[in-house]
Amino acid sequence: MPTSDGAGVSLTRLIGTPELDMLDPFLLLDSIESDDPDDYIAGFPAHPHRGFETVTYILAGKMRHKDSTGREGVIEAGGVQWMTAGSGIIHSEMPEQEDGLLYGFQLWVNLPAKLKMSAPEYREFAAEHIAVETRDGGVTIRVVTGETSLGTRGPVDNVVTEPLFVDVELPAGSRFTEPVPESHGAFLHIIEGNVAVQGSNDDTQVDEGALAVLEGGDRVTLVAGAEGARLLLVAGRRLEEPVARYGPFVMNTQAELMQAAQDYQSGRFVAP
Distance (Å, whole) CA 88 – CA 264:
8
**In the predicted structure, residue 272 carries a pLDDT above the cut 50:** no
Q: What angle do CA 185, 138, 129 make, to 5 degrees?
A: 65
pLDDT confidence bin for 207, thresholds 50/70/90: very high
pLDDT of residue 33: 94
Tell me what the mean pLDDT of segment 155-162 comes to. Answer: 96
**In the predicted structure, residue 60 carries a pLDDT above the cut 50:** yes
Q: What residue ranges define each of the domains in the chain, with the CATH number in brackets?
A: 2-128+254-265 (2.60.120.10), 131-237 (2.60.120.10)
Closest CA to 139 of 233, 29, 234: 233
**In the predicted structure, residue 19 carries a pLDDT above the cut 70:** yes
Alpha carbon 82 to its chain's center: 9
Please indicate, yes or no, whether the overall pTM of this predicted structure exceeds 0.85: yes
C-alpha distances in Å from residue 229, one per residue of 26, 117, 235, 258: 24, 40, 19, 44
**In the predicted structure, residue 6 carries a pLDDT above the cut 90:** no
* Lowest-confidence region among 14-18, 68-72, 240-244, 249-253: 68-72
Q: What is the pLDDT of residues 175-196, one digit of tens each?
A: 999 999 999 999 999 999 999 9
Cα-Cα end-to-end distance for the chain? 34
Whether residue 90 contacts residue 269, with contact meaning beta carbons closer than 8 Å, is answered with yes
Q: What is the pLDDT of residues 231-268, one digit of tens each?
A: 999 999 999 999 999 999 999 999 999 999 999 999 88
